[in-house]
Chain A
Amino acid sequence: MSTPEDAKLNSYRTGPDEQGHFGIFGGRYVAETLMPLILDLEKAYEAAKVDPEFKAELDHLNKHYAGRPSPLYFAERLTNAIGGAKIYFKRDELNHTGSHKINNCLGQIQLANRMGKKRIIAETGAGQHGVAVATVAARFGLPCVVYMGATDIERQKPNVFRMRLLGAEIVPVTAGTGTLKDAMNEALRDWVANVEDTFYIIGTAAGPHPYPEMVRNFQSIIGHETRWQLEEHEGNGRLPDALVACIGGGSNAIGLFHPFLDDPDVAIYGVEAEGHGVESGEHCASLRGGKPGVLHGNRTYLLQDEDGQIKDGYSISAGLDYPGIGPEHSWLKETGRVNYVGATDKEALEAFKLCTKHEGIIPALEPAHALSYVQKLAPTMDKNQIIVMNLCGRGDKDIFAVAEHLGMDI
């Protein structure tokens, strides 16, 4: 049944509203100490967004420093192996630092410079965001502190070493279970204590307004490039039939999806990490195994118990191991525009191996979750249909974890 609310919804791309809401999701639930700063940040971002100079600087950095545009690559051998729709990879794993995270970090550090901030802080899970932050901090000569869960430090040693080489100070977080959510709590505590000189580069499209919108906009370069690149491959006006991306906080996914939300013929799939399976209770599927709540400055779907205490997520992939999700995804779920599905640890490992063998590309475990769903989706589609999957990170960082799961010694 259609309601007056539905009738008004002629675009999925106008959010958030002035208070940062996507439907009931999003918002700005933070301690008062941070409020004036968050309002300042919003003002600075609104000004930068429409400033041609800001855009020109960012374009320049994206091209000459990050290496954009990233290729849109037809994965022909994989397409033949799986059967069905043509599979394209948006190769954000080829960016400088090895993932899509640099897109957002270049944007935010430029904003930090404009605001005259002298110190950068960040949280990181898999370490991809931490490496990207440490990289841009080195590039712009700013001191950088990265909060990282002690558990994650143990399972992501190569990235920890990279960040240290880049000059970042890594602060291990032992609170909670020592993963991404705890790192974010600790980064927020740092920010509250150092508001005047510090810029907090949040790594995903979550947190208090304007972060979800700002991160989405910096990441939307992924979808914008995909649109013209696919036309180069397939002819003018050709749109993908399906988009697939993995979802932890959801920044790579919203970056690919957002430019296509108002193209009704493009089916969109967000793939959550199911860990040992949603039924097992050990997973990170916030949208399908959680319920709405308020954490880290926004209302969104969260993994939580019946008393509203946040539960720890679990996934083989540290980058998806977050008990929440960006608020825009929560809204896209409720409106039905995006289909949210999942892949288990085991399925992701199989996809990881498949991609490596057939394409000579070692993917990160995060996009291996997306690929696992592509394996299910492609055979249900025609040969002349097209899937674009965001290959948002490379797997170098994961080889130790994968070796352990495969029972191999390195």
Chain B
Amino acid sequence: MMKETRIDRRFAKLKDEGRSALVTFVTAGDPDHETSKSILMGLPGAGADVIELGMPFSDPMADGPAIQASSQRALKAGENVRKTLDMVRTFRESDSDTPIVLMGYFNPIYVYPTEQFLVDAEAAGVDGLIIVDMPPEADDELCLPAMKHNINFIRLATPTTDENRLPAVLNNTSGFVYYVSIMGITGTAAPNPDDVRARVEKIRAKTHLPIAVGFGVKTPEQARDIAATGDGVVVGSALVNAITETLDNKGKATEKTVSAVLKLVGELSQAVRGG
């Protein structure tokens, strides 16, 4: 059995407070390593309860244009897995409570290689992994080894996850379940809150884990609606867009970049807290 993780503790605390978690996604190294680190360091203060940090990949097949572009910017600026883990290590020097989940695709982990990645990720203070292209059928390769390093492997449930498939998705999942609220890629269609509520209730009947809902949540209003049904609401593309909008014409960060992201996180946090 895994020990209790920061993710478990954070969701338990929020449950006591009677509110949902704001889960924020930004791509590590976007638009450059230092700016990205400043954003990361500012996220808890701005109201992020759980942090998802994207590990940029050249071929992000499940992502829409916003996150594709952010991955490209980060890679162009020289981001890699090692630097992303450095960023997490620095974050942990001043914050030992806010969970960090790394999100991405398997190949950069596989060539790291996997076991060394898990050793380094655990040491850096990573709490969970969401690896989009690792279904339950591939659990032996990453999910089970991650659990041995006390890292939660968080699985995506989707609108196509029917009752036959759900047990496979929930098996070995820990930390929380990520419900993908639309059929499609990140940051595209807007989820329908009624459909989401129905699906979340079906998943809730089969698991005691918290359920966070994401893909397509952009505005504080949407976040408030989704927070009413899920235990957490994930916002990604909207934050990435906030970065994009502040870049200069060469695609470099400006003095507005960090504050624009943190301001939006503040508004989302207010909304999730029912403000």
- Using a CB–CB distance below 8 Å, which chain A residues touch chain B? 19, 27-37, 175-176, 181-182, 185, 188-189, 192-196, 291, 293-297, 302, 304, 306-310
Contacts and interface: CB of A to CB of B under 8 A. Distances in A.
Contact of B184 (A181, A193, A308): A193
Contact of B107 (A36, A185, A188, A304): A304
Contacts of B162: 36
A31 B186 CA distance: 12
Contacts, number: 112
A321 to B, nearest CB: 15
Given A32-B157, A302-B107, 10 more contacts: A28-B137, A28-B138, A29-B138, A35-B160, A189-B184, A294-B105, A294-B107, A295-B59, A296-B61, A308-B109
B183 A192 contact: yes
B27 to A, nearest CB: 14
Nearest to B111: A308
Interface string B154-197: 01111111101100010000000000100111001100000000
A307 B108 contact: yes
A297 B105 CA distance: 11
A36 B161 contact: yes
Contacts of B68: 175
Interface string B122-164: 0000000000111101100000000000000001111111101
B185 A28 contact: no
B75 interface: yes
The A contact surface, by secondary structure, is: mixed
Interface in B5-35: none
A402 B142 CA distance: 47
A309 B58 contact: yes
Contacts of A34: 160
Nearest to A27: B138
Nearest to A29: B133
21 contacts: A29-B134, A31-B61, A31-B158, A32-B155, A32-B180, A36-B164, A192-B62, A192-B185, A193-B188, A195-B160, A293-B111, A294-B106, A296-B61, A307-B80, A307-B108, A308-B81, A308-B110, A308-B111, A308-B112, A310-B58, A310-B107
Contacts of A27: 137-138
A195 B183 contact: yes
Contacts of B159: 33
Interface string B242-264: 00000000000000000000000
A33 B59 contact: no
Contacts of B155: 32
Contacts of B62: 31, 33, 189, 192
B161 A304 contact: no
Contacts of A30: 133, 135
A33 B158 contact: yes
A33 B183 contact: yes
A175 B57 CA distance: 13
B191 to A, nearest CB: 13
Interface in B36-60: 57-60
Most buried by A among B112, B160, B184: B160
A192 B184 contact: yes
Nearest to A35: B135
A194 B61 CA distance: 14
A293 B180 CA distance: 26
A301 to B, nearest CB: 12
